[in-house]
Amino acid sequence: MRICFTLAAIFIVSFLLTEVHGQSRRLERAERAYSAGEYYEAINLYKDAYAAVNDRDLRSEIVFLIAKCYMKVSDFRQTEGWFRRAINRNYDNPEVYWYYGEALKMNEKYEEAIEQFEIYQSLVPGDPRGEIGVKSSKLAMYLMDNPTPYEITEVNFFNSRESDYSPAFANEDYTLVYFTSSREGSNNRRHGATGGYFSDIYESTRDRQGRWSAPKPLDGINSEFEEGTPALSSDYTVMYFTSCKALRRRSNGCQIYQTTRSGGRWGRPELIDLAPDTLVAAHPAISPDNLTLYFVSDMPGGVGGKDLWKVTRNNKNSPWGEPVNLGPEINTKGDEVFPYVHYDGTLYFSSNGHPGMGGLDVFKAVRSDNGEWEIENMGYPINSPADDFGIVFEKEVERGYFTSNRGLRSTDNIYSFYLPPLYFNVDGKVKDTDSDQVVPGSTVKMVGSDGTILEVDTGESGQFRFMLRPDVDYVFLASKEGYLTDKRGVTTRGHDRSTDFSITIDIQSFEKPIELPNILYDFASWELRPESMVALDGLVETLNNNQHVTIELASHTDSRGGARFNMELSQNRAQSVVNYLIDNGIPADRLVAAGYGKSRPRIVDERIASSYPFLPAGTILTEEFIETLESEEQRETAHQINRRTEFEVLSADYQ
C-alpha cells in the first residue's frame, strides 16, 4: 500500500513539473517571437501559453501582451477588446489605460478615449502622453467636423488583398509608379510580424488611355528578403530604397541602398552606410537638390522610438556626412516615419507622437523665417483614425498618392488625393443709402493686392460680378456723378474652399445736406465727446475716398436759448469738427465751418416720419410747430432732431 502511495506521489510531482515546464516553454516561445517583432505569430503563441497558465497575474500580463500584438498588426477591433479585457482583469500596469485610449481613438470612439487618457493622466501625471492623448482626441473630433477639401479615392489598380504602400513617381510625367507590396508573387516567404508575405518593390505603368498595367516586381532590385519604400532623385536616375534582411527569430535590421538607372535598367544596389546593421535605417527621402537624404532610424541619440534623421553632402559625387537627428520639434517620444520632401522643399512625414487622429497621421513641416519648424496636421480626409503614411506629390498640382489602412480589412492600401483648384467670385449691387434702391449706371472699380485693377459699369441693374484669385485682398469702389464714392472689401486669404461672395455698396447722394449721426456735446459745450470722435472717423474715411470734394460742416441748435448764444455755440461746434478732421489729415482748404444756430430748423423727411409718426413728412420743425405737439416727450424729440451736424458738398472738382 505504501509503495503504491509513493509511486502515485512520484507520478503527481512528475506530472506537475512537466506541466510547469510546458507552461514555461510555451511562454518562452511567445516572448521570443514578440522580441523578434513577429507579432502575428506571437499572438497565437501567447494564446497557447495563456491556456496553459494558471497564475492570475501572469494571465493578465499575457492578455496585455496579446493586445499589444494586435495593435502592432493594426487589428484595431481586436486591440480594443483585449486591452479592455486586461483592465477588467485589474492589470496593474497603468499604461494599459493609455493603450486602451489609443485603441478607442483608432476606432473613432473619441469621447471614450478621452476618459481613458484622463485616467492615465491621474495615475502617471508626469507622462505627457496622457495630455497628448486628450488633445489628439479633441483634435480628431474637430478635424472630422471640419474636413479639408481634398478628394480621396482608393486606387484599386494598385491594391491587392495584402499590404500595398509607399508609392513613388518614377518618371517626370507621372505615368510610372513604384510601390511596396506584400502580395503573393515574387517573394512568397511569410512574415512573422504581419502574417503576410515579404514585401517587394512593384511597378505599374499608365498608358495613353489612362489605364494602369498590372503591377509587376521591379527587375534587378528585389531579393529573398524584404525591399520597399522607394524614393527617386529629382531627375529619376537614382533610386533609394529599404532592404530588411530579417532572419527567423533574429533581425539584422534594415538598411538603405541606392541604385542608378542606365539604359532603362537599374544597376547593382549599393549600401549606404548610415547605421549598424543591427539597427534600423529605413524609409529614405531625397531632397530636390539631391544633397540631403532623410531617413528613419532607432540609432542612439534620438528623441523617441523611431526618429527622422538626415545626412548631407556638398555635391552629387561627395560622400554622405554624419547622421543628424532632426530634433525635438520634429521627433517625439513616439515614432516619426515615412518622410517625403516636396519639390518646394516642404517636409512631409507620419507620426504617432504629435497630436493626431489616431495611429500614424501625415504631417507637413516648413521652416519659418527664424529657422524653426512649423508643423501642421494634414487633416481629414488625408488622415483618419487608422494609420496614414507614405505620401507623394506631383510637382505642379496638389495631387498624388498616400497609404492608409482605414476600412474594414485594416490592410495597407494606396489612395489617390487631389485638391481641386479654388474658384472665387463676388456678386454685388450698388444701392442708394437713403432710398435703399439700386443705383443704375454706377461704376465699380476692383483693386487687388496682387496689382489687379478692373472696372465695370453696373448698367440698369446696378449689379456687378468679378472673378477673384486665391490669397488676395480686394477693395471694390462704387461711384456715380452726384454721389460720394464708397467701398467694400473682400479677401480670399485663408479660404481653402471655393466661395461666392456677396456684397452691397451703399453710396450717398450729395444733392442735399448729409447728417452726421452721433455727433454729441455736453450742454452748452463745443468739446467733442469720445463717441463723437468715433462717428467722425467715418467721415474721415469718406473724405479720403472722395479726395475731389470740398465740404461745409454745418452745426445747428434747437430753438431754445438766445439767438446770438446759439449762433456762437453752433459755430464753435462746427469748428471743433473741422479741427478734428484737420488733425486726422484732411487738408484745411477742403473744409468750411458754419454755425447756423436755430435759423435752419429741420425739414422732416420720409425716414424721420417713419420713425416718429407724430411728425408728418415735409413738416418744418419750427418753434411754433413744436409747441403744438401733445406731450413733452414729443416736443423734446423734435428739439433733438433739430440739434444736428451736417455736411454739404460745395464742389466736386478739388485738385
For 331-378, how does the pLDDT look when each residue is reduced to its tens digit (9 = 90+)? 998 999 999 999 999 999 999 999 999 889 999 999 988 889 999 999
637: pLDDT strictly greater than 60? yes
608: pLDDT strictly greater than 70? yes
Q: How many CA atoms lie within 13 A of 584 on its CB side?
A: 18
In a domain, 20, yes or no: no
In a domain, 115, yes or no: yes
Q: What is the band of 23 on the pLDDT scale with cuts at 50, 70, 90?
A: low
Domain boundary residue among 461, 476, 509? 509
**Residue that wins the pLDDT comparison between 517 and 301:** 301
* Total structural domains within the chain: 4
Distance, in Å, from the CA atom of 535 to the CA atom of 531, rounded to the nearest integer, reads 7
The reported pLDDT for the residue numbered 194 is 62
Domain shared by 31 and 49, yes or no: yes
Per-residue cell: 226 = 524584404
In a domain, 10, yes or no: no
9: pLDDT strictly greater than 50? no
The reported pLDDT for the residue numbered 562 is 86
Taking Cα atoms as reference points, which of 590, 571, 594 lies closest to residue 581? 590
pLDDT tens per residue, range 130-169 = 999 999 999 999 999 999 999 999 999 999 999 999 999 9
The reported pLDDT for the residue numbered 192 is 59
In a domain, 376, yes or no: yes
* Dihedral sign for Cα atoms in the order 556, 562, 567, 573: negative
Q: What is the band of 55 on the pLDDT scale with cuts at 50, 70, 90?
A: confident
Q: What is the band of 195 on the pLDDT scale with cuts at 50, 70, 90?
A: low
In a domain, 549, yes or no: yes
Domain shared by 108 and 172, yes or no: no
Domain shared by 239 and 384, yes or no: yes
Which residue range(s) make up the domain with 483?
A: 424-509
Domain shared by 500 and 552, yes or no: no
Of the chain, the percentage scoring pLDDT greater than 90 comes to: 64
The reported pLDDT for the residue numbered 187 is 65
The reported pLDDT for the residue numbered 21 is 43
CATH code at position 59: 1.25.40.10
In a domain, 524, yes or no: yes
Domain shared by 140 and 177, yes or no: no
* Range name among 15-29, 159-173, 486-500, 502-516 with the lowest pLDDT average: 15-29
Domain shared by 206 and 246, yes or no: yes
Taking Cα atoms as reference points, which of 177, 231, 169, 244 lies closest to residue 205? 177
Average confidence (pLDDT) over 378-403:
95
Domain shared by 322 and 394, yes or no: yes
Domain boundary residue among 452, 483, 509? 509
CATH code at position 323: 2.120.10.30
**Cis? peptide before 385, omega within 30° of 0:** no
For helices 56-72 and 2-35, the axis angle rounded to 10 degrees is 30
For helices 95-106 and 56-72, the axis angle rounded to 10 degrees is 40
313: pLDDT strictly greater than 90? yes
Q: How many CA atoms lie within 13 A of 642 on its CB side?
A: 26
Q: What is the band of 18 on the pLDDT scale with cuts at 50, 70, 90?
A: very low
CATH code at position 547: 3.30.1330.60
Mean pLDDT of the chain: 89
In a domain, 18, yes or no: no
pLDDT tens per residue, range 452-493 = 999 999 999 999 999 999 999 999 999 999 999 999 999 999
5: pLDDT strictly greater than 60? no
**Residue that wins the pLDDT comparison between 290 and 190:** 290
Domain shared by 271 and 371, yes or no: yes
User: Is residue 175 within 8 Å of residue 157, measured between CB atoms?
Assistant: no
Distance, in Å, from the CA atom of 615 to the CA atom of 619, rounded to the nearest integer, reads 7
Average confidence (pLDDT) over 437-445:
95
Domain shared by 347 and 200, yes or no: yes
Domain shared by 526 and 615, yes or no: yes
- Which amino acid belongs to residue 179? F
Place of cell 505620401: 391
14: pLDDT strictly greater than 70? no
Average confidence (pLDDT) over 429-434:
93
Domain shared by 640 and 587, yes or no: yes
Cross-strand bridge partners of residue 161: none
CATH code at position 445: 2.60.40.1120
The reported pLDDT for the residue numbered 89 is 93
In a domain, 108, yes or no: yes
pLDDT tens per residue, range 549-607 = 898 999 998 888 888 898 998 899 999 999 999 999 999 999 999 998 999 999 998 88
Domain boundary residue among 400, 418, 436? 418
Domain shared by 258 and 180, yes or no: yes
Q: What is the band of 634 on the pLDDT scale with cuts at 50, 70, 90?
A: very high
